[in-house]
Amino acid sequence: MSDDEPGATESATDTNANADPPENQPPDRPMSTDTTDTTAATAKTAPTDDSDDDSNGDTSDLVRYARYALLGGLTLLALVATLRFYFAASNAIDIWVARQYRPLFQAAFNLVVLLVAAVGISWEIRKVAG
């Protein structure tokens, strides 16, 4: 039975040889094969994007509509504030500037407002178009 004992030792050594090789010894098979096998296995088990869209579709639509509503409300608020600022600035010109110079100051103020609006409109058109 002494012949069986070395065989048992050799089979234990063979099993350890198939385990992860130490860093100083090269692996039995190329690493690229392991990587491709792992990638292929991951691709088979990974969920597709279609299932995510179906489960989150209602929620994402609701969030999008809520953001549009918030944007609309903030835009309306900004429009009201802009109009109130415009009329308050015109009123300040009427109070602080002498009668003979009011048309000149009103024209300059309106020109500045027009230029700011034109820059904002062109900036938005560029963002939407491109």
Residue predicted with more confidence, 117 or 24: 117
Q: Domain range for residue 67?
A: 12-81
**66 has a pLDDT exceeding 60:** yes
pTM: 0.50
Q: Which tens digits make up the pLDDT trace of 72-109?
A: 999 999 999 999 999 999 999 999 999 999 999 999 99
- Is 20 part of a structural domain of the chain? yes
State residue 7's pLDDT score: 52
What does the alpha-carbon distance between residue 113 and residue 30 come to, in Å, rounded to a whole number? 70
- Is 25 part of a structural domain of the chain? yes
Q: 127: helix, coil or strand?
A: helix
- Confirm if 93 and 102 have CB atoms less than 8 A apart: yes
**38 has a pLDDT exceeding 80:** no
- Is 24 part of a structural domain of the chain? yes
- Confirm if 116 and 100 have CB atoms less than 8 A apart: no
State residue 19's pLDDT score: 53
- Is 105 part of a structural domain of the chain? no
Counted domains in the chain: 1
State residue 103's pLDDT score: 95
- Is 21 part of a structural domain of the chain? yes
- Is 23 part of a structural domain of the chain? yes
The percentage of residues in the chain with a pLDDT greater than 70, rounded to a whole number, is 57
Average pLDDT of 4-27?
53
Q: For 18-22, 55-59, 91-95, 112-116, which range has the lowest pLDDT when averaged over its residues?
A: 18-22
**113 has a pLDDT exceeding 80:** yes
- Confirm if 120 and 108 have CB atoms less than 8 A apart: no
State residue 114's pLDDT score: 94
| Cα 91 off chain centre by | 45
- Is 31 part of a structural domain of the chain? yes
- Is 7 part of a structural domain of the chain? no
